[in-house]
Amino acid sequence: MAFRPGRDAKIVIIGCGISGIGAAQRLIKHGFRNVRVIEATSRSGGRIKTGTLGSNIVEIGANWIHGPSQENPVFRLACQYLLLDKESMSEENQTIDIGGHPPFVPNLFTSSGKKIDPEIVKPALELFMTLLVRSQEFHESGEEPLPSVGEFLKRETQRVAHSEWHGDQATKELRLALLSTLLKVECCVSGTHTMDDVGLGAFGMYKTLPGLDCTFPGGYEGLIKHMMNEIPKDMVLYNKPVKCIHWNNTYKQSSSKGRTCPVTVECVNGETFEADHVIVTIPLGYLKKHQNTLLKPSLPLHKLHSIQRMGFGTNNKIFLEFEKPFWDEDCEAIYFLWEDDSNITDVVADVKMAWIRKLFGFTVLKPTERFGHVLCGWIAGHESEYMEDLTEFEVLRAVTQLIRRFTGNPTIAPKQLLRSQWFHDPYTCGSYTYVAKGCSGYDIDILAEPLPMPDSGAQPLQVMFAGEATDRSFFSTVHGALITGWREADRLFSHYSPMSGQISSKL
Ligand code: 6YU
């Protein structure tokens, strides 16, 4: 059969996370017949990773569908595959629009071992929430009164605390301590070491969708399994870390059966794959670490600079199972307030000695009938990265001591522990993207820009870029990642069928 440009183009997708799978699915639907996915590890899913703790299903990576409503493609797929419970799919759930996650029903414990009434610190919580919303508004208004979200939140909370909180000193200090805890929560949400690293002007670029965040009762990986069923099995090659993408016809053997492919993908094991187009879905953390060697010729300077400037931090989870709960029945989240943290900070001075102070607390896995008594601890930043180097026993000892100290109950003992180690994952090198101080949406656009540059005269769309870091509005999410995989598949489709720009919306 004669070679037909387009349908027979050789396409290699690097990475079998949701963006890579999404790209493959879409290319197949567009009629491309020569698609291959090359994955470094032995599994598909990437940062969607479901594990078990005893008999419980726990999410080691992504947890929620953020904004589960019709606009969210992950929600649509999850509904199509019947992976959600009735409540999550209800009209009512889809229309709730609170701009993110609603506040959890809290239990608050202090470092002197007391459980406190949330009402005491409510003004601090309300102030923090108001300021977070204001931080997001600067993107729209184009102002940036301070370079980072952290500096803005600290300046404004200090100002209000000192001018408006006139009660007794102890109450004031508890409220200030809560502000430190809430900053640590935000470090987990943004996936950053400190909110001082998160740019203020671009903070509002991240968009929330309507719908009350929901989880997958059978695990997030169920979504991956269903999507993978729609891809021919032999299309994906596992255990093949890619070492170098040689583009612009620079590899020595870049010809196949008389036809020249401009790109050769070289794996660590020496195997090579020729391609007309490569879609790179490798996480930004990996790109940062291997930016000088992953592509030959090297990435253009402006792209390298955006990779360096953008933020990619660590957020880890520590799951604990208990025989019986030490928290209230209606409690959804446990927060720890360090009484000596009244200077409002989200970093720990001595990481080695006091890394555990960065763990802001726990969320409670619900419903109890399904999970029993399981907590998920959250810890971000360098303290989280340090935690990854400790043994499981050392982590268990540290969290047990922490819980005993804050509850004042020296007998509490978790039955089991499971923690994530995303920073040391060699193919992720952290958790997810944030827009760092000094960055803008322009950096994300540059990350997403295909190579070579359009005006270079070389064969176009040789190396294309997808993955959560390449979406301006939904970076750091599963739906953001999926959308980018589809975007690059559609880009190829339009390239070969310039007159059929409408087809992608019908898929
Ligand atoms: C979401 C959530 N969630 C918690 C934690 C983590 C993440 N996310 P992948 O990495 O999946 O795939 C790439 C593949 O490439 C992979 O398989 C590699 O092995 C492979 N690869 C790498 N190098 C290679 C090489 N050299 N050769 C070959 N292959 C190679 N998202 O929607 N809900 O609850 C969470 C959470 C602990 C770690 C999350 C969540 C993020 C998603 O998991 C992530 O974006 C996607 O899975 C990425 O898919 P991908 O395909 O791009 O890469 C204002 C403002 C604030 C902004 N932030 C708001 C907060 C929203 C984020 N919240 C997250 C929270 C949690 C708890």
Ligand 1 atom with the shortest distance to the CA of 205: 54
Name all residues whose Cβ lies below 6 A of ligand 1: 14-20, 38-41, 46-48, 61-64, 66, 189-190, 203, 206, 241-242, 281-283, 286, 315, 317, 420, 422, 427-428, 431-432, 467-468, 476-478, 481
Does residue 499 surpass a pLDDT of 70? no
Q: What crossing angle do the helices spanning 118-141 and 169-190 adopt, rounded to 10°?
A: 50
- Residue 188, pLDDT > 90, answer yes
pLDDT at 472: 97
Residue range 166-181: average pLDDT? Answer: 94
* 3-state per-residue secondary structure call for 380-394: EHHHHHHHHHCCHHH
Two domains, one topology: 6-47+233-311+433-500 and 101-207+315-419: no
What average pLDDT does this structure show over 175-198?
98
d(CA 224, CA 482): 11
Radius of gyration over every alpha carbon of the chain, rounded to an integer in angstroms: 24
Structure confidence by residue, pLDDT tens digits, 469-490: 999 999 999 999 999 999 999 9
The 10s digit of each residue's pLDDT in 193-224 is 999 999 999 999 999 999 999 999 999 999 99
Count of alpha carbons within 13 angstroms of residue 138, beta-carbon side: 19
Question: According to the model, what pLDDT value does residue 322 have?
Answer: 97
3.50.50.60, 3.40.50.1220, 3.90.1200.10, 3.40.50.300: CATH of 6-47+233-311+433-500: 3.50.50.60
Domain ranges, ordered by start, for the chain: 6-47+233-311+433-500, 101-207+315-419
Percent of the chain with pLDDT over 70: 96
Distance 420 CA to ligand 1 centre (A): 13
Helix (H) or strand (E) holding 465: strand 463-465
pTM of the model: 0.96
481 CA distance to ligand 1 middle (Å)? 8
* Token representation of residue 284: 């930004």
Residue pLDDT, tens place only, 355-386 = 999 999 999 999 999 999 999 999 999 999 99
Q: How far is the CA of 422 from the centre of ligand 1 (A)?
A: 10
Sign of CA dihedral 272, 278, 283, 289: positive
Q: Are 27 and 35 in contact (CB under 8 A)?
A: yes
User: So what's the pLDDT on residue 7?
Assistant: 85
The pLDDT tens digits of the residues spanning 286-325 come to 999 999 999 999 999 999 999 999 999 999 999 999 999 9
pLDDT mean across residues, the chain? 95
Biggest CA pair distance of the chain: 84
Residue 74 CA to ligand 1 center (angstroms) comes to: 14
Q: How far is the CA of 213 from the centre of ligand 1 (A)?
A: 17
Provide mean pLDDT across the span 443-454: 96
Residue nearest to ligand 1 atom 6, measured at CA: 61
Residue 494 pLDDT grade (very low, low, confident, very high; cuts 50, 70, 90): very high
Q: Which amino acid is residue 108, in one-letter code?
A: L
Which range, of 72-86, 93-107, 108-122, 341-355, averages the lowest pLDDT?
Answer: 93-107
Q: How would residue 229 be classed by pLDDT, with cut points 50, 70 and 90?
A: very high
Confidence class for position 507, pLDDT limits 50, 70, 90: very low
CATH class, 101-207+315-419 region: alpha beta
What's the confidence (pLDDT) of residue 503? 41
How many whole angstroms separate alpha carbon 50 and alpha carbon 56?
A: 10
- pLDDT score, position 444: 98
